[in-house]
Structures are given as structure tokens and as C-alpha cells.
């Protein structure tokens, strides 16, 4: 039987939930726009140019993370709550993050390995040295951890919790996941399949918050997925590759199969991987309820 708590018992709380979420979004957007204006005025570029992303982008991610946490602090203060009350408070956060990371790494590697076996992509040495590889592995581990923390807090933190209070979990998950997918399509290197996969994966990550009780599994999964895809195998992510990547991956088939410029997450085979992540979480939730 479907859990009735997935839907709100009354929709009277919807307007307040929408206003709270919109306020949060405006705070984040305002902070990002202000920061961008200041950086442009100072002629500072943190992303560089071309199709290769350097470690300096980590600074940009850290700034965005600070903006997201500041916006969360503001809306949390209004509700007499703390920043960590929207998915970050968890006494077993390290364990959950590591478990999510292991699943993210394994599933991303399985997806890329499958595409390579099918001849959809070619995996080639990048020419990276051992010392350089170890250095960049650590640098990008920090960078993608910041990405995972920032994006999960932004999309699956306050907005998911606030909208769930007003309209139930399923509508809240659908709204936040749809926004996540639409924003991905804002990049001209993305594809329709990649956008759909982004929505499906976002739904799974929303479910992970419900299944595990916090954001930390999703943060670990997200961070490890990006690290495996961008650094370990050197796949493009929205047309951008990571500087210092260990391997280099080249598309050798149609975009619907290889993912094209969107990377492996733009492949139709990514749907199967997303389903596997959902099945793992179903098992995780059953185990958690049994404890």
C-alpha cells in the first residue's frame, strides 16, 4: 500500500510552502548574481576558457556553497530552526556519505564500462604521471565533494523539506527534480536524454533523503559519481572535461548511446543505472525501518 504520508493531507499549507521556497530561491539567485557582478568588475575568472575545467573552479563552487548555506540560514532563522535541520543533521553522516560514495562510484564505473564494451566510447590513457594523478585525484575529490554538498543542499535541502510540509513528498520531489532537469538543459552541451536522466536521478536522490533520513547518502553518491566520471575516466560533463584527468574518454557512437557531449549520463543506458540506484535505496530503506 502506498504510504499516505507521501501526499499532504491538506493543501492549505501550499501557498506558504511556495512562498518560502521562492524566497529561498531569490536569496540564492541574488547572491550568485551579486558575486558574479563583483568578480566581473574585478576581472576575475574562476572557470577559465575552453572545454577544460581547472581546479580554480573549486573556488567558484565553494563561493556558491557559501551562498546556499547563507540562504538556508536566513530561511531557517525565519522558522526558528538551524541550517543543519534541513537534511544535514545526522549522527551517522560519515557512514552514510561513504556508503553513497561507494554506490555512486560503482554504478558510474559500471555505466562507463558497459559503454566501452559496447564500443560506444573509447577509454585512452591521458598521459598523466603517477604523481600528478595522485595530486589531481585528491584535488578533484575535494572539488566534487563541494559540488555534491552544494547541489544536494540547494535542491534536496530546504526546498524539498519545505515543499513536502506543504504538499507532500511526491509533489515536492517532482517539482524540485523537474527544476533540476530544466537547469541542466540550460547548457547547450546537454541533450534531451541527459535532461530526462537528470530528472530521474534527482527523483532517486530525493528518495534517498526519505530512505536514509538525511542528505548525506545523496552527497556521497553525487560527489563520487562526478569524480569517477570526470577525473577517473575523463568523460565530458556538459562538454567540459577535468584538467589532470587520469584517463581520456572519446565518444565513438551516436549520442543516444554514448551520451555525446553530455557525457555518459546522456546515454540511454544511464536509465538502467538510475533504476539500480533506486533498487539499492529501496533495500536501504527496508533495512533502516527494520532497525
Grid coordinates given for 101: 560514495
Q: Which residue has the cell 525501518?
A: 289
Backbone angles phi, psi at 81, to 5 degrees: -135, 175
Higher pLDDT, residue 117 or 45: 117
**Residue 272 placed within a domain:** yes
18 membership: H or E segment, kind and range: helix 14-41
Residue 165 has pLDDT above 70, yes or no: yes
> For residue 175, is it within any domain?
yes
SS3 248: strand
Reduce the DSSP state of residue 49 to 3 states and report it. coil
Whether residue 104 contacts residue 281, with contact meaning beta carbons closer than 8 Å, is answered with: no
How far separated are the first and last CA of the chain, in Å rounded?
Answer: 21
Q: Tell me which residue range forms the domain holding 187.
A: 8-290
CB crowding 178-202: b at 16 or more within 10 Å, else e: ebbbeebbeeebbbebbbbbbbbbb
Q: Is 169 inside any structural domain?
A: yes
Comparing 8-17, 113-122, 198-207, the range with the smallest average pLDDT is 8-17
Residue 21 lies in a domain: yes
The more confident residue out of 261 and 287 is: 261
Q: Is residue 2 included in any domain, yes or no?
A: no
CB 125 within 8 A of CB 137: no
Structure confidence at residue 9 (pLDDT):
47
Q: Is residue 149 part of a domain?
A: yes
For residue 3, name the pLDDT band (cuts at 50, 70, 90): very low
Is 240 within a domain? yes
- Average pLDDT value for residue range 1-7: 44
What pLDDT, in 10s, does the model give residues 25-46? 999 999 999 999 999 999 888 7
Cell readout for 221 is: 553518491
Residue given cell 511526491 in the structure block: 170
Query: What is the model's pLDDT at position 253?
Result: 86
Cell 548555506 locates to 69
Domain count within the chain: 1
C-alpha dihedral over 61, 62, 66, 69, to 10 degrees? Answer: 70
The answer on pLDDT for 98 being more than 90 is yes
Whether residue 1 is contained in a domain is answered as no
Cβ–Cβ < 8 Å for 212, 89? no
Amino acid at each position: 500500500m502506498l504510504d499516505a504520508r507521501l501526499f499532504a493531507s491538506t493543501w492549505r499549507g501550499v501557498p506558504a510552502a511556495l512562498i518560502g521556497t521562492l524566497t529561498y530561491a531569490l536569496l540564492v539567485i541574488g547572491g550568485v548574481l551579486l558575486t558574479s557582478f563583483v568578480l566581473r568588475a574585478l576581472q576575475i575568472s574562476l572557470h577559465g576558457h575552453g572545454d577544460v575545467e581547472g581546479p580554480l573552479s573549486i573556488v567558484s563552487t565553494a563561493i556558491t556553497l557559501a551562498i546556499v548555506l547563507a540562504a538556508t540560514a536566513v530561511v531557517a532563522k525565519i522558522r526558528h530552526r538551524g541550517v543543519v535541520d534541513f537534511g544535514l543533521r545526522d549522527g551517522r553522516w560519515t557512514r552514510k556519505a561513504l556508503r553513497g560514495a561507494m554506490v555512486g562510484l560503482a554504478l558510474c564505473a559500471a555505466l562507463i564500462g558497459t559503454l566501452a564494451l559496447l564500443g560506444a566510447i573509447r577509454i585512452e590513457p591521458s598521459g598523466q604521471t603517477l604523481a600528478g594523478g595522485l595530486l589531481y585525484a585528491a584535488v578533484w575529490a575535494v572539488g566534487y565533494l563541494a559540488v555534491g554538498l552544494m547541489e544536494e543542499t540547494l535542491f534536496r535541502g530546504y526546498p524539498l523539506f519545505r515543499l513536502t510540509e506543504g504538499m507532500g513528498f511526491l509533489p515536492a520531489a517532482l517539482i524540485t527534480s523537474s527544476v533540476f532537469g530544466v537547469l541542466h538543459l540550460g547548457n547547450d552541451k546537454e541533450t534531451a536524454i541527459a535532461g530526462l536522466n537528470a530528472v530521474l536521478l534527482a527523483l532517486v536522490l530525493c528518495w534517498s533523503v526519505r530512505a536514509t533520513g538525511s542528505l548525506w547518502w545523496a552527497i556521497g553518491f553525487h560527489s563520487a559519481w562526478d569524480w569517477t566520471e570526470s577525473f577517473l575516466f575523463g568523460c565530458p560533463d556538459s562538454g567540459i572535461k577535468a584538467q589532470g584527468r587520469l584517463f581520456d574518454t572519446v565518444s565513438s557512437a551516436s549520442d543516444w548511446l554514448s551520451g555525446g557531449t553530455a557525457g555518459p549520463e546522456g546515454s540511454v543506458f544511464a536509465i538502467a543505472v538510475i533504476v539500480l540506484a533506486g533498487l539499492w535505496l529501496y533495500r536501504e530503506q527496508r533495512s533502516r525501518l527494520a532497525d
